[in-house]
Structure 1
């Protein structure tokens, strides 16, 4: 179906003499090679005009795992100047799930009369001893669903079972979970439970900016999260940390244009929040979604992230008004903090300290068929993206 979209201001107002306005009707037009060449030419010129880029590579972090996947799928990183380094951020919720929370999932699934439901990409995330997929093979009733409403329907069909939904994801998926809980409350369904592992993007970016071993020059902001939260929550990045962030779409030209806008700001010595993805992201976000989330969830004091440690106010829990649906209050959980194997370097990859192929396990003990780390599980994980699309020297993984 035609997408009635407009990619206005491909080149931003600071370069009016080069300005072009495209009225794009089809997805293919966001992958136009000739337009990509023109934007790339501008990127190469800009980098040559930024003093900092002459001393060291500029580090631009794409926060969202969806961007990481697109960058590798379309080979964008190979087209960029050598003095631009793309840092692959922690925006893949499966990838930052710590082993202890996976063990909690398995502890729930192993209890009698439980149907444990989850999105498919969480099935193979390793816990300390096994994954949910392995628990299913051992006889646990673990089912893949496409939405929390699928889990609620299972609760209706199996009133003699306790149906647990594994709530996972950033603000993108949080509203659908909240609305499902509100529907369960409305219908007075008593056998539906939520194990909330939803996380929030803003404290995560702040933790990255505060990290002493990271020096990010600018950000490509997550498109889908921003569709819910809007533009304003990112303002602290420009005001307090003086870094530019451009909310980006996921097609090749979206990403290239967003990168170009970041570089325009760096050249001008500016730091502001821009929205390249205006065709999807409203400035104020989605009020209905935000209201549902606020009704059902509240911030946790802290939440544990794989590779990043404990981050204050970075996760949400169920409010007391909906406590009867809270799996953490219904089931006895191990609730242990379990460190990744010392040989696994997911943490360093998540923080951009090393590239995936520099991990000693990459492509050997750890690959998509037998993942040891969460970054190799999801298609949005940096390791999975490198393995599937990166041109890695075979001798490095032999």
Structure 2
């Protein structure tokens, strides 16, 4: 299949690793922002193949993981109400709220359905006009256009029994929040290629200049990630801090103009709380006033819910890149994918889930146990 095998070639990976090793003269720390990149790094052992003085820090790049507990509890409250069909992508169903998850609501009789597109939820609303159908809109800039288009269609078709519980977040403000943290150790970023395929790269040069960090837009296959690391290391060694696009087959500086147009129509930026991190200014989207009638929080009047995080889960520190998953005492014991304490163990893009899935209970740097391809 095109663009799969080409970017998992072990010989090319070895050449990139050798080039990185020749370039490095001092320790460097860089953060991959995307959870999909984290899974690729752990799956292929890329972090173990790199020179020891290059550290990859796992960032808050999993939208499921950073959805705040208050929003999860709002979803649970809405889904529990009679006459509601609550639709969501499958990875949200096991995310723990304060005392339960959406699977528990479903087992208790709630009409909770997994859909593969927000348009599926809109079709359900059209087919069941006597029910209130709610779609749980979670994600970064990548999934936001599809949800914005669904809201646009619902308004155009005058589907009155459809609404959205929105918890969308934006990457550039998160990068800025990370750089402003007193505990920040990040010296370069690998930016998420799929986010930039929608939004473009025009927001990043100001961040690179202000915080003097290289930002390299990177894909998700092993060679994509190694090329991103190679470019970031070269900039760091030269004292440069530019934005580079190492994913040109998908990313253009201006992004996707059609997607951006519908985003501007349906959403406006807002302050957003990130689970385990806190509130980041202008880091999220909410529905505009023109789409207020499709806002599930407004329709169902869910506000002021008391929330309580697990006392032993350290997923917030994982999301901030302060610790690796296996450094949490609950990892792999009290907290597993079947009994998750935090969202980072639930999501397909969560760092804790990646470490558990690929048996990374510790991080030995031995090439015999690591492979690319």
TM-score range for the pair, normalised by the shorter chain length: over 0.9
* Gapped regions of structure 2 (runs ≥ 5): 364-373
Report the counterpart of residue 34 of structure 1 in structure 2: 11
Q: How far is the alpha carbon of 1:332 from its aligned partner?
A: 2.3
Report the counterpart of residue 225 of structure 2 in structure 1: 255
| Highest RCO, 1 vs 2 (Cα 8 Å, sep ≥ 6) | 2
Equivalents in 2 of 1:274, 1:390: separation in Å?
33
Equivalents in 2 of 1:358, 1:391: separation in Å?
11
Asked whether 1:326 is paired with 2:295, we answer yes
Equivalents in 2 of 1:199, 1:353: separation in Å?
21
- Could you list the structure 1 runs, at least 4 aligned residues long, displaced by more than 6 angstroms after superposition: none
Q: Is the 8 A contact 1:104 1:335 kept in 2?
A: no
Equivalents in 2 of 1:324, 1:391: separation in Å?
46
Equivalents in 2 of 1:70, 1:297: separation in Å?
31
Give the SS at the match of 1:256. Answer: helix
Q: Show the 5 A alignment for 1:216-295.
A: 216-295=186-265
* Gapped regions of structure 1 (runs ≥ 5): 4-25
What is the aligned counterpart of 1:161 among 131, 140, 143?
Answer: 131
Equivalents in 2 of 1:204, 1:313: separation in Å?
9
Asked whether 1:190 is paired with 2:167, we answer no
Asked whether 1:199 is paired with 2:177, we answer no
Q: Show the 5 A alignment for 1:72-83.
A: 72-83=42-53
Q: How far is the alpha carbon of 1:268 from its aligned partner?
A: 1.1
Q: Is the 8 A contact 2:73 2:307 kept in 1?
A: no
Task: Please list the CA deviations of residues 66-107 of structure 1 after superposition, one character each: whole Å capped at 9, or x if unmatched.
Answer: 100100111111101111111000010001112111110011
What is the aligned counterpart of 2:311 among 334, 342, 351?
Answer: 342
CA-atom RMSD in angstroms: 1.3
Q: How far is the alpha carbon of 1:392 from its aligned partner?
A: 2.1
Give the SS at the match of 2:307. Answer: coil
Q: Show the 5 A alignment for 1:78-117.
A: 78-117=48-87
Equivalents in 1 of 2:102, 2:66: separation in Å?
16
Using the size of structure 2 for normalisation, the TM-score is: 0.95
Equivalents in 1 of 2:275, 2:159: separation in Å?
34
Task: Please list the CA deviations of residues 26-59 of structure 1 after superposition, one character each: whole Å capped at 9, or x if unmatched.
Answer: 52121111110010001111113xxxx2xxx421
Task: Please list the CA deviations of residues 159-209 of structure 1 after superposition, one character each: whole Å capped at 9, or x if unmatched.
Answer: 100000001101101110111111111111110101111111111111001
